[in-house]
Structure 1
Amino acid sequence: MVKKENVFASQGGPIILAQIENEYGNVMGPYGESGKSYIKWCANMAQSLNVGVPWIMCQQNDAPQPMLNTCNGFYCDDFVPNNPNTPKMWTENWTGWFKQWGGKNSHRTTEDVAFSVARFFQRGGTFNNYYMYHGGTNADRTAGGPYITTSYDYDAPLDEYGNLNQPKYGHLKQLHDVLHSMEKILTYGNISTIDFGNSASITTQTSMMVKKPNEAEDTPSTLKWSWRPENMDNFLLKGKGESTQTQLFDQKVVTNEQSDYLWYMTTVKFKKRDPFLGKNMSLRVNSTAHVLHAFVNGKHIGNQHVENGKFNYVFEKDVKFKSGRNVIALLSITVGLAATFKAPLGNDPVVVDLLGLGKGTAWVNGNNIGRYWPAFISSENGCAAKCNYRGPYHAEKCLTNCGEPTQRWYHVPRSFLNAEGDNTLVLFEEMGGNPSLVSFQTTRVGSVCANVYEKNSIELSCDRKPISAIKFASFGNPYGNCGSFEKGTCESSNNTIDILTQECVGKEKCSIDVSTEKFGAPDCTGSVRRLAVEAIC
């Protein structure tokens, strides 16, 4: 299809590389010779397509020629291609990490991402591609991998909603400008290494995002709901389904990958004088389901779900059977809920806060916005108040959101909404929950901060919104972080807040030279002078 549309570079189009397979080298070991044969078949098939651009194989150290093997990971400066004529390429520079149900928010520091890129090119790299550069949403049933959430924000430079994730976006932009300015020097000739030491200084703003209530609603805090419980008598009391097998059902096969839900039903018969009746008995289920609900004769006896990434578990509960026919049904109980709402005003990205609900799937105007599970709370431990960028990064290093729902807010693209008139939210709720807390909101920049050393410039921007006030400003040796700056022991003689108010308030962005000429010369003996500022958007 791609070749037919003439979009390869050999046809005058923009596509310069093509990929066959992805990270198969990470899992091919157990397949032995069959795995090696498969890789050769992939290479031959790809070449036979004659697309006119090079083919790459990611994480495939034995990629056969002319396939180009490439590196994926947090760091690829030590990567060496399997052929001296193959350029050193980094096809997935992981800017953050995905989130799992029951997990926390993972953050990779701006300093670490930028350092990894600079070191890669310093050591002979020629091509760097970010994964992800723009975060996304696993709408409908597209979430893959091990228990991955609907949000795929990935702590990317552009977040799930398309907002600039500052300072990561701005700092990488500055780095890219430097790399482009010396592109030929970096990619031609011999490599020599001189150690000038390491430093990490960020001169771009930090943006603090906020959620705003839906101003299009007179009473946006409470939606009016209607509900319809599913009629489950046939399943729970009669044990009747659409098909019968004398072997195990595979849910993905039976549902053709079109549903998260499937009833498993069976019956057990006991005679009146059966010696087992009246004795302690239990129902035991070996399960790999994300969530399991169990019913015996229409009565809910309990539920269990995957925790800590362990997808095999044993559900066991005490039960009392009756003489005659007993119906055992396994699934998730479901309730349908519906409410109408007005589209939020403006152009800011829209989210729906599903706090209070249990687990299920949501639709807006018939569009499936994904699975939700705000009842799944992450553990209390493992988060740090501040993340130290020093040392190698890993997915468990810089975590936030301890003790909170894994995902509370869900992206609703404005293309799904009716700008005029009513919109409909439908919830397929498995656990019951409390829908009274559900609300629609918008996400935007609430404030921006900077902490920049003297003799640098800083640009403050509210992302197409005017700067409304300067909350804090100090030129000297202020300390603290964005949202909690404090004045230090020395400060400039000029009123820093007044200067920045005049320079920035009412504008969408402003640029400031951090200098004694502008702010005065504070006496900060032994300290490097810097400007700390927080502006309200």
Structure 2
Amino acid sequence: MVWVFFWVLLVVISGVHGGNVTYDGRSLIIDGGRKILFSGSIHYTRSTPEMWPSLIAKAKQGGLDVIQTYVFWNVHEPVQGEYNFRGRYDLVGFLKEIEAQGMYACLRIGPFIESEWSYGGFPIWLRDIPGIVFRSDNEPFKIYMQKFTTMIVNFMKAESLYASQGGPIILSQIENEYKNVEPAFHSKGPPYVRWAANMAVGQQTGVPWVMCKQDDAPDPVINTCNGLNCGETFAGPNSRTKPSLWTENWTSQYQVYGGEPYLRSAEDIAFSVALFVAKNGSFVNYYMYHGGTNFGRSASSYVTTSYYDQAPLDEYGMIRQPKWGHLKELHAAIKLGSETLLWGAPSNFSLGQLQEAHVFRRQPGECVAFLSNSDSRNSATVTFLNLSYELPPRSISILPDCKSVIFNTAKVSRKYTPRSMMSRQMFNLSERWLNFMDGIPKFGKTTIKANTLLDQINITKDVSDYLWYISSYNHTPTDVQPILHVETRAHVILAFINNKFVGSAHGSHGLPSFTFESPISLNAGENNISLLSVSVGLPDSGAYLERRVLGLREVTIQGTTHGSQDLTHYSWGYQVGLLGEELQIYTDQGSRLVEWKSTDAGSTHQPLMWYKTTFDAPLGDDPVTLNLGSMGKGEAWINGHSIGRYWVSFHTAKGTPSQTLYHVPRYFLAPSGNLLVLFEEIGGDPRQISLDTISTTGV
């Protein structure tokens, strides 16, 4: 036991100081006291200000000490030098609500965040900085990264939000999972890590900094773990002077269109947490604790509008049982022995082939034990300190006195609480709907022209998901059926020949490119070719994001007099976005700028169609959703607020839509006369959608 005593002595004397928050080899130290902390990710941008108090209160009630959030650069500085911290982007207001409820905060500044957020949180203007290489030992990038980081830190300091100033922020993060891409930058990677760490520490926040999944994080920055089972996969901090922290324990996983939801059980999450603490972990953050909604065009490529709906607090902020309650009981069980866990001498020994005891002893009579069974199929009977214990498959029992079991990770006392949906309003009357068909632009009226196919990101600057590619082809008829062939790195393509819809195709999350091919009818002589390239979010991960491209790569017509005619280097005209977007017809004022028509069966199931109607808000305070099960693909707005992209027509392998319900925050609603506008890309029927409320019982 000499090595155990030495280890305890080492962590006692090797604290690293930062104002009122320090750390040693065992834990974070706040106001002089070691802490075991449970944290949960709640993103202010994925909820609304009126939801924040309830979300934070439910997190605290669930036994959490800390709320973790990213900082989203692209919403705060959408235009270089122009900042936005209003409404859902009120970072200070969010942090002050955390403070008001007596909780701590962990601020992940990044400023690269990934997070299934479009472009990983980078503003699109950043890619136009001359000579820039993102996330590398590159001077232009470092200048702008440091400028934004410093701006956020100074903003926090001005509001006295760091713990060193008496505020809630006890921990900050710089960069994000950089180790995943570091090898791609070769010799430019390691110097960048050192620079980022030194730059962050130099901000003098008075609280520690972390780098997640970065085992070469230089002192005093703490390297942390992200993953499903950090108790099994984390090699530990890279210094004995640093605590073992888990910044992302994935409570489920994000979902993509065409993909099924990932369901992670309460038992599995609890097992992973108990094992991490048993192996000297002292900080666990649930990613996500509240999933939320990817409003507007904020989601990254192919990611659904609903985000981590399987979290302990679902997309709407409702408690999801048994996950929320089981974890609450786990937190209480661990906290019961926290003093011994934080100050006791750790040891571990085998209880069987797949069974183990992790024991912490402080003084005579102070003993905490975690008895684990890693066998996922079979229960095990073990003997510990002359007493017999039955351990269910893949479970950990917690004994705060090394005698009595007060919690087992596999034994769930909370019952599953299903969500119930009540239809509040149908929109099935044609006369309630008006429609407007967006136009197909003409080549002569396009302001951008080139003799090649241009990159969609460079042209749109992400102000729209849509880019028109327009050209013409002089056709000489033959006996062969012409076929339009398009190679694209976009996500969706819609093809029109002489203003008539030919068809559409789409890719998927795992494929960077796809092919559209369709027979077409061509007139003798000139034919207009209009191709609408569609993005469903920008990429959020990987090296060299500044080099990523979208849009058409090759266009040919097969079955011509020459066999195949390559149009790739023809003269192409480009139009960014749609007429309805330009006029903002999803707002009350903008909707008056076009002539709307009555809707009947003949005006549904058409591409490029806008629909509008009005409705009254449902009574009560239950969360509100739009059931868009009869629509195809597009975007929805309530009173000018985008509730996100919908893509009901993209089915999973089981033949069902990935998402049909779309959250309508009550924050967006007036008591009556709410304007609902849908833009339908490929064809749907708005007369079959409904406005519903969702509730749970027995929580």
TM-score category (smaller protein): 0.7 to 0.9
Asked if the contact 1:138–1:370 (Cα under 8 Å) also holds between the matched residues in 2, the reply is yes
What is the deviation of 1:18?
A: 0.8
What is the deviation of 1:302?
A: 2.0
Asked if the contact 1:213–1:220 (Cα under 8 Å) also holds between the matched residues in 2, the reply is no
Q: Matched residues in 1 for 2:326 and 2:187: separation?
A: 46
What is the deviation of 1:159?
A: 0.5
What is the deviation of 1:220?
A: 6.4
Q: Matched residues in 2 for 1:375 and 1:239: separation?
A: 34
Q: CA offsets per residue over residues 343-383 of structure 1, 9 Å max, x none?
A: 01101000110011000000001100000011111112xxx
Asked if the contact 1:239–1:327 (Cα under 8 Å) also holds between the matched residues in 2, the reply is no
Structure-to-structure mapping, 1:10-49, within 5 angstroms: 10-49=164-203
What is the deviation of 1:244?
A: 1.2
What is the deviation of 1:5?
A: 1.7
Residue equivalent to 2:520: 319
Residue equivalent to 2:244: 88
Asked if the contact 1:239–1:265 (Cα under 8 Å) also holds between the matched residues in 2, the reply is no
What is the deviation of 1:416?
A: 0.5
Instruction: Establish whether residue 152 from structure 1 lines up as the match of residue 307 from structure 2.
Output: yes
Structure-to-structure mapping, 1:141-220, within 5 angstroms: 141-144=297-300, 146-194=301-349, 195=356, 196=371, 197=373, 198-199=391-392, 200-214=410-424
Counterpart amino acid of 1:118? A
Secondary structure in 1 matching 2:230: coil
**TM-score normalised according to structure 1 size:** 0.74
Structure-to-structure mapping, 1:137-536, within 5 angstroms: 137-144=293-300, 146-194=301-349, 195=356, 196=371, 197=373, 198-199=391-392, 200-214=410-424, 224-232=432-440, 234-235=441-442, 238=443, 240-270=445-475, 277-307=478-508, 309-331=510-532, 333-380=607-654, 403-419=655-671, 421-445=672-696, 447=697, 462-463=698-699
Q: Matched residues in 1 for 2:508 and 2:641: separation?
A: 29
Change (3 A) 1:371 1:128: same
Counterpart amino acid of 2:299? A
Change (3 A) 1:151 1:126: same
Change (3 A) 1:154 1:73: farther
Counterpart amino acid of 1:103? G
Q: CA offsets per residue over residues 181-233 of structure 1, 9 Å max, x none?
A: 1112222333222534433111112211111121xx5x66657211111132x
Residue equivalent to 1:54: 208
Secondary structure in 2 matching 1:169: helix
What is the deviation of 1:154?
A: 4.1
Asked if the contact 1:277–1:321 (Cα under 8 Å) also holds between the matched residues in 2, the reply is no
Residue equivalent to 2:562: none
**TM-score normalised according to structure 2 size:** 0.57
What is the deviation of 1:280?
A: 4.6
Secondary structure in 2 matching 1:207: coil
Instruction: Establish whether residue 112 from structure 1 lines up as the match of residue 268 from structure 2.
Output: yes
Percent pairwise identity: 43
Q: Which has the higher helix share?
A: 2
Counterpart amino acid of 2:465? D
Q: Matched residues in 2 for 1:82 and 1:308: separation?
A: 35
Q: Matched residues in 2 for 1:65 and 1:49: separation?
A: 15
What is the deviation of 1:339?
A: 1.1
Asked if the contact 1:125–1:187 (Cα under 8 Å) also holds between the matched residues in 2, the reply is no
Asked if the contact 1:136–1:161 (Cα under 8 Å) also holds between the matched residues in 2, the reply is yes
Asked if the contact 1:18–1:53 (Cα under 8 Å) also holds between the matched residues in 2, the reply is yes
Counterpart amino acid of 1:418? A
Q: CA offsets per residue over residues 153-200 of structure 1, 9 Å max, x none?
A: 341000000110000001100111111111122223332225344331
Unmatched 5+ stretches in structure 2: 1-154, 350-355, 357-370, 374-390, 393-409, 535-606
Q: CA offsets per residue over residues 58-81 of structure 1, 9 Å max, x none?
A: 111111222111000001114111
Change (3 A) 1:220 1:339: closer
Asked if the contact 1:17–1:55 (Cα under 8 Å) also holds between the matched residues in 2, the reply is yes
Asked if the contact 1:132–1:154 (Cα under 8 Å) also holds between the matched residues in 2, the reply is no
Q: Matched residues in 2 for 1:221 and 1:303: separation?
A: 27
Residue equivalent to 1:514: none
Counterpart amino acid of 2:261? N
Counterpart amino acid of 2:682? M
Asked if the contact 1:351–1:410 (Cα under 8 Å) also holds between the matched residues in 2, the reply is yes
Residue equivalent to 1:388: none
Of 201, 223, 226, which residue of structure 2 is paired with 1:69? 223
Counterpart amino acid of 2:171? L
Q: CA offsets per residue over residues 470-518 of structure 1, 9 Å max, x none?
A: xxxxxxxxxxxxxxxxxxxxxxxxxxxxxxxxxxxxxxxxxxxxxxxxx
Q: Matched residues in 1 for 2:639 and 2:509: separation?
A: 34
What is the deviation of 1:138?
A: 0.1
Corresponding residue pairs, total: 414
Q: Matched residues in 2 for 1:174 and 1:93: separation?
A: 17
Instruction: Establish whether residue 129 from structure 1 lines up as the match of residue 330 from structure 2.
Output: no
Asked if the contact 2:427–2:689 (Cα under 8 Å) also holds between the matched residues in 1, the reply is no
Q: Matched residues in 2 for 1:73 and 1:248: separation?
A: 40
Residue equivalent to 1:473: none
Asked if the contact 2:485–2:516 (Cα under 8 Å) also holds between the matched residues in 1, the reply is yes
Q: Matched residues in 2 for 1:407 and 1:186: separation?
A: 44
What is the deviation of 1:45?
A: 1.4
Q: Matched residues in 2 for 1:362 and 1:4: separation?
A: 38
Q: Matched residues in 1 for 2:309 and 2:692: separation?
A: 21
Secondary structure in 2 matching 1:360: strand
Q: Matched residues in 2 for 1:257 and 1:220: separation?
A: 32
Asked if the contact 1:157–1:168 (Cα under 8 Å) also holds between the matched residues in 2, the reply is yes
Counterpart amino acid of 2:257? W
What is the deviation of 1:31?
A: 1.1
Counterpart amino acid of 1:365? N
Q: Matched residues in 1 for 2:480 and 2:625: separation?
A: 52
Counterpart amino acid of 1:56? V
Q: Matched residues in 2 for 1:285 and 1:348: separation?
A: 46
Asked if the contact 1:220–1:439 (Cα under 8 Å) also holds between the matched residues in 2, the reply is yes
Secondary structure in 1 matching 2:225: strand
